[in-house]
Amino acid sequence: MALDSKQDDRTHQFKVVGTRPPRPDGIDKVTGRARFGADMTAPGMLTGRILRSPHPHARITSIDSSEAEALPGVHAVVTRADFAHAVADAATADVLDNCMAGDKALYDGHAVAAVAASSPAIARKALKLIKVDYEPLPHVTDVDAAMQPDAPALHEGRANETVPAGLSPNVVARCAFGHGDIEAGLAQADRIVERTYRTEATHQGYIEPHACLASVGPDGQADLWCCTQGHYMVRNTCAEILGMDQGQLRVTASEIGGGFGGKTTVFLEPVALMLSKKAGRPVKMVMSRSEVLRASGPTASSSVDVRIGMTKEGRITAGFAELRYQGGAYPGSPVDMGAMAAFAPYDLENVKTVGWDVVTNRPKAAAYRAPGAPMAAFAVESAIDELAKGFGLDPLEVRLKNAAREGTRASYGPTYPAIGLEATLRTARDHPHWSAPLGPNQGRGVACGFWFNFGGDTCVTLNITPDGTVTVTEGNPDIGGSRASMSMMAAEELGIPYDKVRTVIADTGTLGQNEVTDGSRVTFAVGLATIEAARAAKREMCRRAAQIWGIEEEAVVWEDGAARPAGPNAGTHPPMSLAEIAAIASNTGGPIAGHHEVNAEGAGVSFATHMVDTEVDPETGAVKILRYTVFQDAGKAVHPDYVEGQFQGGAAQGIGWALNEEYIYGADGVLQNPGFLDYRIPVASDLPMIEPVILEIPNPGHPYGVRGVGETSIVPPLAAIANAVSEAAGVRLTHLPLSPPKVLDALKSK
Amino acid sequence: MSSIHVTTTLNGDPAEFLCEAEETLLDVLRDRLGHTGAKEGCGTGDCGACSVVVDGRLVCACLMLGAEAAGRSIETVEGMAEGDKLHPLQRKFLDHAALQCGICTPGLLVAAKSLLEREPDPDEEQVRYWLAGNLCRCTGYDKIIRAVLDAAAEMREAS
Amino acid sequence: MVQVKIFGSLAAAADDQTEVEIEARTLRELLDGLAARYPAMQPQLERGVSVAIDGRVYNDSWFTPIEPDSEVVLLSRLKGG
């Protein structure tokens, strides 16, 4: 078939992409029919519960579960001793140790044992009958304290070869990026800002707690239902931990009640499988909110030193940042991502970042939306703002003067292709928000943000049904409307109406490997595979039409939902629609499908500029968000409603991070606020409308120009809000969250 | 343990169940009556994902005991649509893309319906304060507020 | 020969050079060549790296072609949320 040339011309008019149709899972979600992680049951199901360490750091000297096992209604007790299969991969071994502690409990809430019982009440009672002997050890929860040479050590020998000798064993990795000569650059500056910035750990705050239902048969075949961002990851990780064949474990993803990166690993699933295996019955486990906060995967807290020099004209002469992130009790904080993203929006001759990955007695960090980047952007964008305002320069113009553009060598190394940062800055400058008047105690802040975006392993199968409708089968949990986007891209490519396509998420037995729903990859990578699967189906349909017409395949094109003869010798056959070809598929060779399997490399980076107005109450230190506008490059917005939703949601999470949310550990190393009352995420009355402005600078790596949009939107808010509050308060604020006591202290110290 | 026998009304239908004294209304709805529309996000009344209406009053089902349902009338998200006709709020939530993951949606719909029954013409601030007990982590609330205001306008025109 | 830019902490494993030349026509040849020439890089290469080729980022695809004048930059392995 001669490919329809219009499809590769990104300037062509889309018919479906860019419209706002209803999502296929919508009715289920407004009627209560949608089944989330905790909504599944199985015959004979038991309740699983986890016993958690009350100590932040303790050696486990013995566990006696005999009384619990003897309690009527208890069917299994599991400890680390049950996970006897040797796990070769170091990162997976850490996941196992995090799911069920080995020799030591490493944080308040660390799992030490689990039970499966015939009712929740019996399970709770059984937990109280398990006797654990702990030998409490000194603990450390602060990143800077953990780096001190005499700090309590969590592990020995976990530092990799990048860490110089002589540091605390809690320092497990170092990274560095950049080019040029920092000292020479600083020497050209008219002014240098040098400050330390701190952020506290925050949680993704998804409203749905982790939940799963596991069923292991005596033949070794197992089924698992769970809420996750990636059921293929769950399958592979659990199979490795339990020593099972991946093919014997079928994982089905439920509807997912939020993830934001926090559901890209496992917490309960290996334990539920082990309980089910021992009990010979299905086992359901659901975390409480307190367990979610104490023992799932919040993001890192950070401490960042910045030195930036600027000329009085506003040109940045050098940028340096040293970032220290604690990622909980195991290696793997996102400090390398922060160190790469810190200066990514700027065109700098002299730039260097150094990152330190540090372990502390806190839960193992999981990814959180653009992991590592928001804290780095907070530090860098605060310093740039202070410099600009110190010279009396417009902070947007200063950013424009230094903005990275096509051909700029990024601070992390490569040269940028076409990117959208300047477009977001210019649009922000010309927006009425920028020139709107401010009242007393009010301030306006801006900040830029960057994220890489990813692709990865992806499979899509597209089946044509006998009546000419289409099913797209993909393997990535739909966390915010992606099924609608896949249906739209398939409809666009096939030239049929949106409502003739239904997209479903398959279990792990149906498709090959699929990377987790993360890295803002789904609309890009699954979209790409969907388009390619549709093209494969079109090629086959053209082949069938050519056979029927008795002409060469090359003489058939697909246009507007039908195969058509084209070219000088093709003849004058009437077009055959998709439905007409589908109806006689049995007579022309059998069912028609297209499929595409790919490691989708080549995702396009994205940039955003945020603008926010705040008002500070001088009596209480409370901050009110008055107005918020997001300017972001989406490449191509497939379903603009859900692109806007990503912009608004990222901004709202950033507002929470900037103003209220923080993990508070007492001197005893115990989390003091493991509930939504004290870990306060933004509520409806805290926020104004959030205006989303979508820009479209096409990604050359995608047939429709799509870039990921989900993560970039959480990068600028921390700095934008801190810049606005600093202006309103008349004093520079450098430690998030900007909770009323901190702002009040700053006002008093003016 | 001796179970308690409870007779109640659920979305207009007579219903009865056995429960333990310690079970919450949310446990009973989800585990005994098969109504999993109400969600448990916190179990402490902080997130509103389990919002239901009991004798006309908006409550968190996780903060009420199942045994207390005796003789009362319970309304949940499963009772909002009439047959295949969605409630205007349900329709407007879809039209405005007021949900991303959808876990908070049942609670928000029940709470918003309760607001509009008391105040058919709320302004934005009233909607924001009434819904302040219903956490949503995906949307930033913008599209939810617009959906509720739009549904209120349509319902006023229809009445 | 391909010019490869190396990020800071990996440069330590390449005798502090931030740019090295490797004979490679594909991503796989590049990674194998680096490991052979600079054994100290092996642990990081095993943990994983991302490679930007002419501004596009690749993680795994061995047979991604590299032209002699391609811009090639080694990066920390990218991950997302």
Is the CB of residue C40 less than 8 Å away from at least one CB of chain A? yes
In angstroms, the CA A339 to CA A373 distance is: 8
Contacts of B76 in chain A (CB under 8 A): 32
* Structural element, H or E, at residue A326: strand A316-326
Question: What's the mean per-residue pLDDT of chain A?
Answer: 96
Contact flag A161-C56 (C-beta cutoff 8 Å): no
User: Which residues neighbour A143 within 8 Å (Cβ) at sequence distance 6 or greater?
Assistant: A300, A301, A302, A303, A324, A325, A326, A358, A360
* A585 and A645 together in one domain: no
pLDDT at B33: 98
In a domain, A182, yes or no: no
Mean pLDDT computed over every residue of chain B: 97
Token pair 């179970």 is at which residue? Answer: B3
Q: Please report the DSSP string for A385-439 in residue order.
A: HHHHHHTT--HHHHHHHHB--TTPBPTTSSBP-S--HHHHHHHHHHSHHHH----
A189-222: per-residue pLDDT in tens?
999 999 999 999 999 999 999 999 999 999 999 9
Report pLDDT digits (tens) over A129-145. Answer: 999 999 999 999 999 99
Considering the domain architecture, whether residues B66 and B105 belong to the same structural domain is answered as no
Cα A325 to Cα A312: distance, rounded to the nearest angstrom: 33
Q: How far apart are CA A161 and CA A730, in angstroms?
A: 45
Domain's final residue, options A600, A619, A648: A600
Distance of CA A151 to the CA centre of its chain: 32
Classify residue A472 by its DSSP letter: E
Q: Between chains, do B35 and A689 touch, taking CB under 8 Å as contact?
A: no
- Fill in the amino acid letter for A477: P
DSSP per position, A522-554 = IIIIIHHHHHHHHHHHHHHHHHHHHHHHTS-GG
- Give A408-440 pLDDT, tens digit per residue: 999 999 999 999 999 999 999 999 999 999 999
Q: For an interface test with B, give the residue of A31, A293, A478, A628 to mutate (most B CBs within 10 A).
A: A31
Number of domains in chain A: 2
Q: Can you tell me the mean pLDDT for A488-501?
A: 98
Q: How many Cβ atoms are within 10 Å of A383's Cβ, its own excluded? A: 27
Is B80 within 8 Å of chain A by CB? yes
Is some CB atom of chain C closer than 8 A to the CB atom of A335?
no
Domain boundary among B56, B79, B102: B79
In this structure, is the dihedral angle defined by the CA atoms of residues A100, A104, A106 and A108, taken in order, positive or negative? positive
Q: Between chains, do A452 and C71 touch, taking CB under 8 Å as contact?
A: no
Q: Is the same domain home to A687 and A709?
A: yes
Q: What is the mean pLDDT of residues A582-610?
A: 94
Q: Of B22, B53, B79, which residue constitutes the final position of a domain?
A: B79
Assign A18 to helix, strand or coil: coil
Residue A568 sits in the same domain as residue A645: no
Q: Is B9 helix (H, G, I), strand (E, B) or coil?
A: strand
CB neighbours of A436 closer than 8 A, spacing ≥ 6?
A: A613, A627
Chain B: touching chains (3 or more CB pairs < 8 Å): A
- Please give, one letter per residue, the 3-state secondary structure of B122-139: CCHHHHHHHHHHCCCCCC
Closest to B23 (Cα-Cα) out of B71, B76, B68: B68
- Chosen for mutation from C54, C57, C59, C72 (greatest number of chain A CBs closer than 10 Å) is C57
Within-domain flag for C61: yes
Residue range A267-278: mean pLDDT, rounded: 98
Whether residue A2 contacts residue A557, with contact meaning beta carbons closer than 8 Å, is answered with yes
pLDDT digits (tens, 9 = 90+) for A55-82: 999 999 999 999 999 999 999 999 999 9
State residue A253 phi and psi, 5-degree precision.
Answer: -85, 130
Q: Where are the beta strands (DSSP E) in A603-697?
A: 606-616, 623-633, 690-695
**Would you give the DSSP letter of residue A682?**
-
| pLDDT tens, residue by residue, B16-50 | 999 999 999 999 999 999 999 999 999 999 999 99
pLDDT range class, residue A11, cuts 50, 70, 90: low
CA distance B70 to chain A (A): 22
Q: Is the pLDDT of residue A513 over 80?
A: yes
Backbone angles phi, psi at B69, to 5 degrees: -75, -10
Asked if B97 lies within 8 A of A644 by C-beta distance, the reply is yes
| Cα distance from N-terminal residue to C-terminal residue, chain A | 73
Residue B152, domain CATH:
1.10.150.120
Q: Is B25 on the interface with A (CB under 8 A)?
A: no
Give the closest residue to A39 by CA, choosing from A294, A268, A257. A257
Q: pTM to 2 decimals?
A: 0.96
pLDDT value at residue A10? 47
**Are both B44 and B110 inside the same structural domain?**
no
- A477 and A582 inside one domain: yes
In this predicted structure, what is the pLDDT of residue A2? 40
* Residue numbers in A near C79 (CB within 8 A): 334, 337, 367, 371, 454, 518-519
Same domain, residue pair A495 and A633: no
Q: What is the DSSP string of B44-55?
A: SSSS-TTEEEET
- The token pair at C70 is 């391609």
DSSP code at position C20: E
* pLDDT per residue as tens digits for the range C31-52: 999 999 999 999 889 888 899 9
**Final residue belonging to a domain, choices A536, A569, A600:** A600
Mean of pLDDT values over B74-80: 98
Instruction: Name which of A20, A36, A207 is nearest B137 (Cβ-Cβ).
Output: A207
Q: Does A165 touch chain B (CB under 8 A)?
A: no
Which tokens is A324 given? Answer: 């220290």
With 0-12 / 13-18 / 19 or more C-beta atoms within 10 angstroms meaning exposed / middle / buried, residue A92 is middle
Same domain, B72 and B102: no
User: What is the pLDDT at residue C7?
Assistant: 80
- In chain A, which among 127-156 make CB contacts under 8 A with chain C? none
In whole angstroms, how far apart are CA A434 and each of A261, A395, A613? Answer: 33, 11, 10
Residue with tokens 């993203």: A341
Give the pLDDT mean for C60-80. Answer: 89
Q: Which two tokens stand for residue A147?
A: 């780096």
Q: Which domain holds residue C58?
A: 2-76
Encode pLDDT of A636-689 as tens digits.
Answer: 999 999 999 999 999 999 999 999 999 999 999 999 999 999 999 999 999 999
**Same domain? B33 vs B93:** no
* B8 touches A at CB < 8 Å: no
Query: Residue A9's pLDDT is what?
Result: 45
In single-letter form, the type of residue at position A278 comes to K
Could you say which residues from 97 to 116 on chain B have a Cβ atom under 8 Å away from some Cβ of chain A? Answer: 97, 99-106, 109
How many structural domains are present in chain C?
A: 1
For residues C65 and C69, give the distance between their C-alpha atoms in angstroms, rounded to a whole number.
12
Average pLDDT over residues B74-88: 97
C-alpha dihedral sign at A588, A488, A227, A269: positive
Interface contact B18, partner A, CB < 8 A = no
Shortest Cα–Cα distance, A712 to chain C (Å):
11
A435 plus A541 within the same structural domain: no
- CA-nearest of A226, A282, A225 to A44 is A282
Residue C37 lies in a domain: yes
Backbone φ and ψ of A740, nearest 5°: -50, -45
Give the model's confidence band at A701: pLDDT under 50 very low, under 70 low, under 90 confident, else very high: confident
The parent domain of residue B36 ranges over 4-79
The answer to whether the CB atoms of A258 and B137 lie below 8 A apart is: yes
User: How far, in Å, CA of B139 to CA of B146, rounded?
Assistant: 12
Length of chain B: 159
Closest residue to B137, CB basis, from A205, A209, A642: A205
Position A7 pLDDT exceeds 50: no
A227 pLDDT higher than 70: yes
Q: Which residue has the higher pLDDT, A316 or A604?
A: A316
C8–chain A Cβ distance below 8 A for any pair? yes
Q: How far from chain centre, in Å, is Cα B128?
A: 16
Q: Report d(CA A117, CA C19) in Å as an integer.
A: 61
**Cβ–Cβ < 8 Å for A660, A739:** yes
Q: Is A510 exposed, middle or buried (0-12, 13-18, 19+ CB in 10 A)?
A: middle
Cβ contact C43–A160 (<8 Å): yes
CATH no. for residue B74?
Answer: 3.10.20.30
DSSP label of A712: G
Residues A730 and A661 reside in one and the same domain: yes
Nearest to A311 by CA among A387, A411, A410, A400: A387
Q: Average pLDDT, stretch B121-140?
A: 98
| Interface with chain C: mutation pick from A265, A320, A335, A336, highest number of C CBs within 10 Å | A336
Of C52, C54, C76, the CB nearest to A175: C76
Residue A235, both tokens: 């399958």
Identify the pLDDT of residue A12.
61
User: Is residue A30 within 8 angstroms of chain B, CB to CB?
Assistant: yes
Same domain, A669 and A744: yes
Rg of chain A in Å (alpha carbons): 27
CATH number at residue A624: 3.30.365.10
Instruction: For residue C55, tell me if it sits in a domain.
Output: yes
Mean pLDDT of the region A507-520: 94
**pLDDT average, residue stretch A367-396:** 98
Q: Give the DSSP letter of residue A268.
A: S
- Same domain flag for B72 and B125: no
CB A364 within 8 A of CB A290: no
Nearest to B97 among A28, A208, A642 (CB): A642
Residue A611 lies in a domain: yes
Residue C40 is part of a domain; what is its CATH number?
Answer: 3.10.20.30
Residue C80 is nearest to which of A179, A262, A454, comparing CB atoms? A454
Region A525-542 average pLDDT: 97
Assess if residue C81 is contained within a domain: no
Q: What percent of chain B has pLDDT over 70?
A: 99
Contact flag C57-A711 (C-beta cutoff 8 Å): no
Q: Looking at the structure, do residues B50 and B72 belong to the same domain, yes or no?
A: yes
Q: In this predicted complex, what is the ipTM?
A: 0.98
Domain boundary among A600, A634, A666: A600
Q: What 8-state DSSP symbol labels residue A668? A: T
What local confidence, expressed as pLDDT, does residue C80 receive?
74
Q: Give the per-residue pLDDT at C12.
A: 85
CA A16 to the chain's CA centroid: 27
Q: Is residue A268 part of a domain?
A: no
Overall number of domains in chain B: 2
- The Cα–Cα gap between B39 and C39 comes to 54
CB-defined contacts A:C, below 8 A = 107
Asked if residue B72 and residue B9 are part of one domain, the reply reads yes
pLDDT in tens, A556-567: 999 999 999 998
B106 phi and psi angles, rounded to 5 deg: -55, -45
Q: How far is A602 from chain C (nearest CA, A)?
A: 5
The average pLDDT across A11-23 equals 89
For residue B41, give the nearest of A28, A256, A289 by CB distance: A289
* Helices B142-158 + A640-659 axis angle, to 10: 120
Residue of A nearest to C61 (CA): A599
Q: Which residue of A has its CA nearest to B98?
A: A645
Instruction: Note down the domain range covering A505.
Output: 9-16+455-600
> Is the separation of the CB atoms in A46 and A283 below 8 Å?
yes
At which of B49, B79, B109 does a domain end?
B79
